[in-house]
A and B are shown apart, each in its own frame.
Chain A
Amino acid sequence: MSEKILEVKNLKTSFYTHLGEVQAVRGISFSLNKGEVMGIVGESGSGKSVTSLSIMKLLQYPGEIKSGDIFFKGEDIVNKKNKEMLNIRGNEIAMIFQDPMTSLNPVYTIGDQIMEVIIRHQGLSKKKAKEKAIDMLRLVGIPSPEERVSNYPYEFSGGMRQRAMAAIALSCEPDLLIADEPTTALDVTIQDQILKLMKDLKEKLDTSIILITHDLGVVADICTKIVVMYGGLVMEEGTSKDIFYNPKHPYTMGLLKSIPRLDLGEKKRLIPITGTPPDLIKPPKGCPFTARCPYAMKICSLHAPKYTKIDENHKAMCWLLHKQSPNMKMDTGVKRGIVNE
C-alpha cells in the first residue's frame, strides 16, 4: 500500500456568527495517498472550501476547528501553533486560490511574490531566488520569464495570474497541493491549459493534489478519487469510475443528471435538483439532502444514515443502501459516451 500523505478524521469546523453557529463542516473523513489526485465536488455552501482552509489552518475569526484530527505525513496538525504552521504552509502544503485577480498582492511584482516563498522556506540568497523564480515561471509556461518576472500582477491576464499562483505554490515542491476552484474564473481554453499544467506538474514532481470544484467535467479528467460533499458532509466517496458509472447516492445522481452532455449528441430536457441547499445554522437532523431528494423516506428526515461500503474504495451515506430499505428503481443519471478503442 502506498504512503498516506493526508488523513482527515471526523473534522468539524464551525463559524460562530451573531446569528448562531454555522456548522460548515460537520464531521468528514477522508485520506489521500502520495501522488494521488483527489477531487472534492459540491455546490457552494457544501463546505468544500472550508475543508481546505481547515487543512491549511487558514480559518479566520469567527471560524474554528471544533473537533477532529488532520494528520499530515502522520503528524497531527490541528494542534500545531501558528509558528509551526508557517514552516509547513507554502513549503509542504501549498494552495492555489480561486480568484487570481484578488489573491495576488497588487503592489509587489510577480517575481517578488514568488521569491518571498523561496527565501522564507529555502533560505536562498536574493539573486539565487530570482533565478529560481524565473525557472518556476518558465515551468508553468509563461513566455519570456526573464522580463515577466519584474511585472506587476495587473500586467498579467487572468490565465497568466493563475499560472503565477501555481508558480508560487509549487516553488518549494510541496508534498500536497490544494487547488480551490483553480479554473472557475477562467475561460474554457485557459482552463484546459491550467488543467494540463497541473497534470504535467503532478507527473514531474509527484505532488499529491486536492482539487476542489463544482464542475464534474474537470474532476473526470484528472482525478483518480472523488469525494462528493453536501451540507457539510461527505455524501459519497469513490474512484472516479465509481462516481461517474456507479453512483449510489441520489445527490451524486442528481448532479450527473443536471449537466448537459456535449459529446452524446442528444438534446433532452435537463433534470434539475429542486429546492436549495440546507441552512447550516440549523442543519437538518437527518440526511441533509432529504428536502431535495426524490427518493426520501420517513427515516431520512429523522436520523442521519451511516456509511455503507460498496467496495474497498467506494462508500456512500444513504438509507437506500440499508439492507431493509425498499428496492427502488432509480434513474442514476449515468450516460456513457462511446469510446473508440
Chain B
Amino acid sequence: MNKDKDAIIKVRNLKKYFPVKKGFLKRKVQYVKAVDDISFDIKKGETFGLVGESGCGKTTTGRTIIRLYDVTDGDVIFDGTNISNMKEKDLSSFRKRVQMIFQDPFASLNSRMTVGDIVGEPLDIHKLASGKERQERIYYLLKTVGLSKEHASRYPHEFSGGQRQRIGIARALAVDPDFIICDEPISALDVSIQAQVVNMLEDLQKELGLTYLFIAHDLSMVRHISDRIAVMYLGKIVEVAKSEELYKNPTHPYTKALLSAIPIPDPDVTHKRESVTLEGEVPSPINPPKGCTFRTRCKYAFETCKNKEPSMKNLGGDHTVACHLLDNKK
C-alpha cells in the first residue's frame, strides 16, 4: 500500500484489557475491554481527531500508543519500528519523539517544581542539554508558548489554567518531538482561552511540522482542528473520515446522534433542527453487547446486529464505517 509510506504511526488490531481482580487471591475474573481491536494510521503532519463519550476508550488508546500502558494485543508501529513489545529501556529513543499533553493542567504539573524545572526535566532525562544551554532552551520554549523567561522561576500555582496548559505544551516540546498526543488539552479551559490554546497548537504544528493525535469529546473543536476524525464507541472505532466529510455525511447512527447532540450557538438554527436524542447510556465494557456494541442504543438495530460484529467498510475517499445498515442499502 502506498498510503502507508507517509504514515508516521500505524495501529493494527490494538487491544487493551484491564483485569478485574476479585477475592482473597486476587484472581483475574473478568476483563474491562477498554480498547478492543482498533486499527488506524496517522499520516505525517496531520491532526487525527479521536472522539467519543467518556468511557469509550479514547484516552486508553492514547496512553497505550505512547506505552504508558502495556499493549494487551496488536501492534503499534511508529515510523517503521514496532514498539508494542519493546522493553522499557529500549523505549527511550521513542519517547524522545513522542510526547503527550494532558487534560488537567492543575494535576499534570508538579506543584513543588519551578516552571523552569518542569520544562527542563525532559532535557535532563534524555540528557539533551545542561548548564547554560539548558537554561537557554527553557527560555526559548517558554517564549514559543507565549510565556516569558521571568516565568521560569515561578511555581505552577501562580499561573491560570490557560497558562498552565501552555507550560504543559512547552514541556512536551522540550525534546523536539515529531508526534504529540493531546488528551483533551482544552476541556478544562474557559471558552475564551480555548481558542488561544487551539490557535497556538495550530501554529506550532505549522512551524515544527508536528503530527497530532487530538483526543476530545468536544466535537466542534475537534472538527476545527482535525484533518481526519475517528469516532469511538465502547472500545471500537465505528467511523473514520475526513473531518469535512464526517460532518457533512455522517453515516454511522452513533456519529449522527453525537453530531445532533452538540448545541449550536444560534437560536434560530437550534430551534429548527431535528435532533436525534440518544437514549440510555454506554453499556459496561466488562460485558459489552454481542454483535454490534452500539445495537442497544441504536434505533435502526435489526437481527443481524445481534449476532454479527460489523466490519469496517470503505465508502471511498478515506471514509470507513462499521455498520450492518450499509449492507442493506443497495
Binding site for B on A (CB under 8 A): 43-44, 157-160, 187-193, 195-196, 214-218, 220-221, 240-241, 244-245, 254-263, 265, 267, 269-274, 276, 335-340
Provide the residues of chain B in CB contact with A43, threshold 8 Å.
190-193
Interface 9-residue window, one of B82-90, B97-105, B150-158, B270-278: B270-278
Contact of B281 with A159 in the complex, beta carbons under 8 Å: yes
Contact of A192 with B278 in the complex, beta carbons under 8 Å: yes
Interface 9-residue window, one of B130-138, B257-265, B312-320: B257-265
> Contacts A276-B160, A339-B272 known; A261 to B264 CB distance under 8 Å?
yes
Least CB separation from B248: chain A residue: A265
> Contacts A43-B190, A269-B202 known; A217 to B54 CB distance under 8 Å?
no
Contact of A260 with B261 in the complex, beta carbons under 8 Å: no
Instruction: Give the top 4 A-B pairs by smallest Cβ distance, nearest first.
Output: A217-B263, A272-B195, A337-B269, A192-B261
Provide the residues of chain B in CB contact with A276, threshold 8 Å.
160, 162-163, 193
Given A44-B161, A263-B266, output 11 extra A-B contacts at Cβ < 8 Å.
Answer: A160-B281, A187-B217, A193-B277, A216-B191, A240-B267, A244-B265, A258-B194, A262-B247, A265-B247, A270-B224, A336-B268
Contact of A157 with B281 in the complex, beta carbons under 8 Å: yes
Least CB separation from A42: chain B residue: B190
Residues 41-57 of B, flagged 1 when their CB comes within 8 A of A and 0 if not, give: 00000000000011000
Provide the residues of chain B in CB contact with A267, threshold 8 Å.
224, 244
Contact of B195 with A189 in the complex, beta carbons under 8 Å: no
Expressed in whole angstroms, the minimum distance between the Cβ of A341 and any Cβ of chain B is 8
Provide the residues of chain A in CB contact with B30, threshold 8 Å.
none
Least CB separation from B266: chain A residue: A337
Q: In the complex, what distance in Å separates the CA atom of A304 from the CA atom of B75?
A: 61
Q: In the complex, what distance in Å separates the CA atom of A254 from the CA atom of B190?
A: 13
Contact of A220 with B224 in the complex, beta carbons under 8 Å: no
> Contacts A187-B54, A261-B220, A335-B266 known; A255 to B191 CB distance under 8 Å?
yes
Contact of A339 with B53 in the complex, beta carbons under 8 Å: no
Provide the residues of chain B in CB contact with A188, threshold 8 Å.
53, 217-219, 258, 261-262
A-contacting residues, B231-271, CB 8 Å: 244, 247-248, 257-271
Expressed in whole angstroms, the minimum distance between the Cβ of B33 and any Cβ of chain A is 18
Q: In the complex, what distance in Å separates the CA atom of A160 from the CA atom of B281?
A: 9
Q: In the complex, what distance in Å separates the CA atom of A220 from the CA atom of B258?
A: 18
Contact of A262 with B262 in the complex, beta carbons under 8 Å: yes
Provide the residues of chain B in CB contact with A258, threshold 8 Å.
191-192, 194-195
Q: In the complex, what distance in Å separates the CA atom of A269 from the CA atom of B244?
A: 15
Q: In the complex, what distance in Å separates the CA atom of A156 from the CA atom of B244?
A: 36
Least CB separation from B297: chain A residue: A189
B272 touches which of A196, A265, A340 (Cβ 8 Å) = A340
Least CB separation from A195: chain B residue: B263
Expressed in whole angstroms, the minimum distance between the Cβ of B299 and any Cβ of chain A is 14
> Contacts A188-B219, A189-B258, A258-B191 known; A272 to B199 CB distance under 8 Å?
yes
Q: In the complex, what distance in Å separates the CA atom of A252 from the CA atom of B90?
A: 52
Binding site for A on B (CB under 8 A): 53-54, 160-163, 190-196, 198-199, 202, 217-221, 223-224, 244, 247-248, 257-272, 275, 277-279, 281
Expressed in whole angstroms, the minimum distance between the Cβ of B192 and any Cβ of chain A is 4
Contact of B277 with A192 in the complex, beta carbons under 8 Å: yes
> Contacts A189-B261, A189-B278 known; A220 to B217 CB distance under 8 Å?
no
Q: In the complex, what distance in Å separates the CA atom of A273 from the CA atom of B190?
A: 11
Contact of B267 with A241 in the complex, beta carbons under 8 Å: yes
Contact of B261 with A220 in the complex, beta carbons under 8 Å: no
Q: In the complex, what distance in Å separates the CA atom of A44 from the CA atom of B267?
A: 24
Q: In the complex, what distance in Å separates the CA atom of A190 from the CA atom of B55?
A: 13
Provide the residues of chain A in CB contact with B196, threshold 8 Å.
272-274
Least CB separation from B247: chain A residue: A262
Q: In the complex, what distance in Å separates the CA atom of A240 from the CA atom of B257?
A: 25
Q: In the complex, what distance in Å separates the CA atom of A258 from the CA atom of B223?
A: 14
Provide the residues of chain B in CB contact with A260, threshold 8 Å.
220-221, 223-224
Provide the residues of chain A in CB contact with B268, threshold 8 Å.
241, 336-337, 339
Expressed in whole angstroms, the minimum distance between the Cβ of A272 and any Cβ of chain B is 4
Q: In the complex, what distance in Å separates the CA atom of A195 from the CA atom of B261?
A: 10
Provide the residues of chain B in CB contact with A215, threshold 8 Å.
191, 263
Contact of A259 with B266 in the complex, beta carbons under 8 Å: no
> Contacts A192-B277, A270-B198 known; A220 to B265 CB distance under 8 Å?
yes
Q: In the complex, what distance in Å separates the CA atom of A218 from the CA atom of B270?
A: 10
> Contacts A270-B195, A272-B193, A276-B160 known; A259 to B278 CB distance under 8 Å?
no
Provide the residues of chain A in CB contact with B247, threshold 8 Å.
262, 265
Least CB separation from B200: chain A residue: A272
Expressed in whole angstroms, the minimum distance between the Cβ of B184 and any Cβ of chain A is 12
Provide the residues of chain B in CB contact with A193, threshold 8 Å.
277-279
A189 touches which of B53, B192, B223 (Cβ 8 Å) = B53
Provide the residues of chain B in CB contact with A196, threshold 8 Å.
277
Provide the residues of chain B in CB contact with A189, threshold 8 Å.
53, 257-258, 261, 277-278
Least CB separation from B198: chain A residue: A270
* A and B contact pairs by CB, cutoff 8 A, 17 listed: A187-B217, A191-B261, A192-B260, A192-B261, A193-B277, A215-B263, A217-B220, A217-B262, A218-B263, A221-B264, A258-B194, A259-B265, A260-B221, A260-B223, A262-B264, A270-B195, A340-B272
Expressed in whole angstroms, the minimum distance between the Cβ of B225 and any Cβ of chain A is 9
Contact of A336 with B266 in the complex, beta carbons under 8 Å: yes
Expressed in whole angstroms, the minimum distance between the Cβ of B223 and any Cβ of chain A is 6
Contact of A263 with B264 in the complex, beta carbons under 8 Å: yes
Q: In the complex, what distance in Å separates the CA atom of A241 from the CA atom of B270?
A: 12
Provide the residues of chain B in CB contact with A269, threshold 8 Å.
199, 202
Provide the residues of chain A in CB contact with B278, threshold 8 Å.
189, 192-193
B244 touches which of A160, A257, A261, A265 (Cβ 8 Å) = A265
